[in-house]
A and B are shown apart, each in its own frame.
Chain A
Amino acid sequence: MTRAGTATIGHDASGDVIVASGDWTLAYAPALAGLVATLRGQARPGLRIDARGLGRVDTAGAGLLLDLAGVDAIDGLDPRRRALFDAVARAQAAPPVPAKPEGGLVALLARTGAAVEHIGDNVRRLVGFIGLILATLARTVPQPRRWRVTSLAFHLEQTGLDAVPIVVLMNFLVGAVIAFLGATVLKDFGAAIFTVDLIGYSFLREFGVLLTAILIAGRSGSAFTAQIGSMKSREEIDAIRTLGLDPVEVLVLPRLLALLIALPLLTFLAMAAGIVGGGAVCALNLDISPTMFVTRLQDLAATRHFWVGMSKAPLFAFLIAAIGCLEGFKVSGSAESVGEHTTSSVVQAIFVAILVDAFAAIFFMEINI
C-alpha cells in the first residue's frame, strides 16, 4: 500500500504546524520537493512538524522534511525513525560544495591553452623518453647477460611474424589500386608503360615503408600501450621497480628491438607485395607482360630507391615503439585511462610517422637521391 506523501500547514497557539502524512519516498520526491519549497515560503520561523501520520519514509523524504525544520522540531517520531532523521540531518549538515564555474570565453581560452601546453609537454616527454631508452640501450648492450632473448623472440613473433599476412595483403591491394590509377591517367598520353615506374618508385621509396609503419602503429604500438598501461594500473610497474629492476630495460627494450628488427623485414615484404600487386594489374589489364615489367623495373635504378625507403624503416620502428611504450607508462589508475592512452598512442605514432616521412622526402630530394 503506497500513498503519495503530502503536507498541510496550520496554526495553533505556539505557532505554525505542518502536518505531514503519506509516504515520503523517492518515488514522490519531485512533487514533495515542490511542496516543501512552497511551504518554506509560507511558514514563519519557529514552526513545528507533526509526523504522526507519516507512512513510509526513506532518506530522500527525510531530507526534504528536514528542509522545513530541524529534528527537534519534528513531533511524533518513534525511536527508529528518529535515528533515520538524525542520520540524514547529520549528513545534510555538511556544507555544500560550490558548483564549478564552467563555460564562457575564459574556459575556452583555458582549454586551448591547456591543449597547447599538453602538446608541448608530450614532445618534451617523448624526447626525454627517447634519451632514456638510448641511455639504457647503451648500458645494456655491452652486457649480454642482461639481454632478454626470450622476451625479444616473443615480441618478434607478435609484431613481426603475426603481422605478415595483413601487411602483404594490404600492400598487394594498394599496389593494384595505384596501377589502375596510373594506367588510367597515363594511357591517354600513350605512356602506359610508365605505370611500372610509378609503382616501383612509389612502393620502393614511400608506400612500402609508410603503409607498413601505419599498420604497425595501429597493431603493435597500441598493443605496447595497452600491455604496459594495464601493468601500470595494476601497480606491476611499481613492483618491477621495487624488485630492483629497470622497467625500461625489462619492458621497453625487448619491444623496441623486436620492432627494429621486424619493421624493416615487413617493409621488404610490403614493397615486394605492392610491386607484385601492381605487376598483376599490368599483366592482366595493360598488356605489360611480367618480363617487360621486370626489365622496366630494373632500368629504374631500383636499388637506390629501395635503400631510400628501407632507411626510414628503423626510424619509424623506433618512434612507434617509443611512443607506444611512453603512452603506456603515462596510464594512471583506471581502466578508462588505458583506453585513452592507447588511442593517443596510435594517433601520435601515425602522425609522427607521416611527419617524419614528409621531412625525409624533402631531405632526399634536396640531396638528389
Chain B
Amino acid sequence: MNATAREKVIEVRGLRNQFGTQVVHENLDLDVYRGEIVGVVGGSGSGKSVLLRSIIGLLRPAAGEVTLLGEDMMRISDARRSAIEARCGVLFQNGALFSSLSVADNVMVPMREHYRLPLPLMQRLAALKIALAGLPANAGAKFPAQLSGGMVKRAALARALALDPDILFLDEPTAGLDPIGAAAFDQLILTLRDSLGLTVFLITHDLDTLYTICDRVAVLAQKRVLVADTIARVEACDDPWVREYFQGPRGRAAWAAAARERQAIAADAAPTKS
C-alpha cells in the first residue's frame, strides 16, 4: 500500500477548538486511511475526546474542516449527516448504554432506526453482536445497571457494531478490562478490522493496545497532532513527552511483550512455510 493511493476516510484540516479562552486544538491536521487502526495518545486534558467529538459531529469546532467518508461535515445536510452517522460506530468511554433498555434492546436501537427488519432477525443479529463482543449469551436480557464495568464496554461495542459500520470510534476501549479481557478485546478489534475492512480510530492509554494492534499512532500534544506514524517512528521522535511516554517503564514493558509475541508468531509460522 502506498500512501497516495490509499483512501482517506477521515481528513481533519486546520481544526481549532476552544472553550472560552482555553484553546484545546490549534491548527490540527490528521488523516486516517481506510482499513487502518489509528491509536490516538496524549496526556490527560490534551483534547483526545474533544477531537473525537468534533470528528463525529457532536461538537462544532471553532474553525477548520472535517471530512468524513468523503463528506464535508461542516456543510452537510441533516439527511446526509444521518446517513454518514449510520456508517460510524462509536464506543463511548463509559459505554453510554441506554439504562432503560436491556443490552439486546440497546443493540437493536440502531437497527430499528435505520432498517426495517423483522423482530426475530433483529434479535438474532443482536445475539450475534453480543457474542461477537465476547459477552455470554444471557447478557442480552440484562440491563446496563446489572453489568460490570468490563461488560458494559463489551455491550457498548456490540451496539457500536450493530450496523457493521465503516469506521469504529473507540474512546479508551480497554480501560477497565482485566488484562486477559483487554487482550481478547484487542484481538477482536483486529479480527473485525481484517474481515470487515473496518477503519478504527481509537483513543487509548493502553500501551499494549498501541503495540499489538495499532498500525499508526497519532500523538496529540501542544494543541495539535505532533506526529502520526508507525509506532517505531513515533518512538524515535525526539519530543521529550513522546520519549517519556514510550521509553518509560510501562512503555518498555509493553514493547518487550509485543516483541515476544511477534517472535512466537514467527516461530509458529516458520515450520508451516518450509
> Bound state CA distance, A90 and B134, in angstroms?
10
Residues 152-198 of B contacting A (Cβ, < 8 Å): 161, 163-164, 188, 191-192, 194-196
Residue interface bits A52-93, CB-to-B below 8 A is 1, else 0: 000000111001000000000000000011011101101110
* A59 and B132 within 8 A (CB): yes
Stretch of A120-128, A263-271, A333-341 lying at the B interface: A333-341
A58 to B138, CA, bound (A): 24
Contact of B164 among A60, A94, A335 (CB under 8 A): A60
The B-contacting residues of A in range 7-45, CB under 8 angstroms, are 25-27, 29-30, 33
Spot the interface stretch: A95-103, A177-185, A358-366: A95-103
Closest-by-CB residue of B relative to A32 is B121
A332, CB-defined interface residue at 8 Å: yes
| Given A26-B164, A95-B137, A334-B99: A60 touches B125 (CB 8 Å cut-off) | yes
Q: Roughly how many angstroms separate A84 CA and B128 CA in the complex, as a whole number?
A: 12
- Chain A 313-341, CB-CB to B under 8 Å as 1, else 0, gives 00000000000000000001111110000
Interface 0/1 of B136-151, CB less than 8 Å to A: 1110110111100000
Q: Contact check, B118 vs A30: say whether CB atoms are below 8 A apart.
A: yes
**Nearest-Cβ distance from residue B247 to partner chain A, whole angstroms:** 34
CB distance from A122 to the nearest CB of B (A): 21
In the complex, whether B100 has a CB less than 8 A from a CB of chain A is yes
A84 CA to B146 CA in the complex, in Å?
30
Contact call B118/A58, Cβ cutoff below 8 A? no
Q: Does B16 contact A (CB under 8 A)?
A: no
Q: Count residues of chain A with CB under 8 A from any CB of chain B.
A: 31
- Rounded to whole angstroms, the CA-CA distance of A1 and B79 in the bound complex is 21
Rounded to whole angstroms, the CA-CA distance of A101 and B163 in the bound complex is 29
Taken residue by residue from 142 to 177, chain A's Cβ proximity to chain B (1 for < 8 Å, 0 otherwise) reads as 000000000000000000000000000000000000
Contact across chains for A97 and B132 when beta carbons are under 8 A apart: no
Instruction: Write the nearest CB–CB distance from B9 to chain A, whole angstroms.
Output: 16
B131 within 8 A of A: yes
A30 B117 Cβ-Cβ under 8 A: yes
Beta-carbon contact of B163 and A26 below 8 Å: yes
Q: How many A-B residue pairs have CB under 8 A?
A: 85
Task: Say whether B192 contacts A87, CB under 8 Å.
Answer: yes
Check if B128 sits within 8 Å of A59, measured CB to CB.
yes
Contact A336/B100 with A30-B121, A58-B164, A83-B191 known, Cβ cut-off 8 Å: yes
Question: Per-position contact with A for B80-119: 1 when CB-CB < 8 Å, else 0?
Answer: 0000000000000000000110000000000100011110
Q: When chains A and B are docked, how far (Å) is the Cα of A35 from the Cα of B59?
A: 43
In the complex, B68 has a CB within 8 A of chain A: no
Q: How far is the CB of A334 from chain B (nearest CB, A)?
A: 4
Contacting pair B117 A29 (CB below 8 A): yes
Contacts of B140 in A (CB 8 A): 97
Please judge, given known A-B contacts A26-B115, A80-B195, A88-B128, whether A334 and B143 are in contact too, CB under 8 Å. yes
Which of A29, A91, A336 makes the CB contact (< 8 A) with B132?
A91
- A58 to B121, alpha carbons, bound, how many Å? 15
Q: Is the CB of B191 within 8 A of A94?
A: no
Q: Which of A63, A80, A85, A335 has a CB less than 8 Å from the CB of B128?
A: A63
Nearest to A337 among chain B residues (CB) is B145
Q: A368 to chain B: closest CB distance in Å?
A: 53
Q: Do the beta carbons of A334 and B144 come within 8 Å of each other?
A: yes
Chain B contacts of A63 at CB under 8 A? 124-125, 128
Q: How far is the CB of B226 from chain A (nearest CB, A)?
A: 33
Contacts of B141 in A (CB 8 A): 97, 100
| A83-B128 contact, Cβ under 8 Å, with A29-B117, A337-B145 | no
Q: How far is the CA of A97 from the CA of B131 in the complex (A)?
A: 12
B129 CB contact (under 8 Å) in A25, A33, A59, A95: A59
Check if B125 sits within 8 Å of A334, measured CB to CB. Answer: no
Contact A92 B131 (CB under 8 A): yes
B41 near A: Cβ within 8 Å? no
- Apart from the given pairs A88-B132, A94-B127, A334-B145, 18 other A-B contacts in the complex at a CB distance below 8 Å: A26-B163, A27-B115, A29-B115, A29-B117, A30-B118, A58-B196, A59-B125, A59-B196, A60-B125, A60-B128, A80-B195, A84-B196, A87-B195, A91-B128, A92-B128, A92-B131, A100-B141, A336-B99
- A sample of 11 inter-chain contacts (CB < 8 A) reads A26-B115, A26-B117, A30-B117, A63-B124, A80-B194, A83-B195, A87-B132, A332-B145, A334-B100, A334-B145, A336-B100
Which 5 A-B pairs give the minimum distances between C-beta atoms? A84-B195, A333-B145, A91-B131, A334-B99, A58-B164
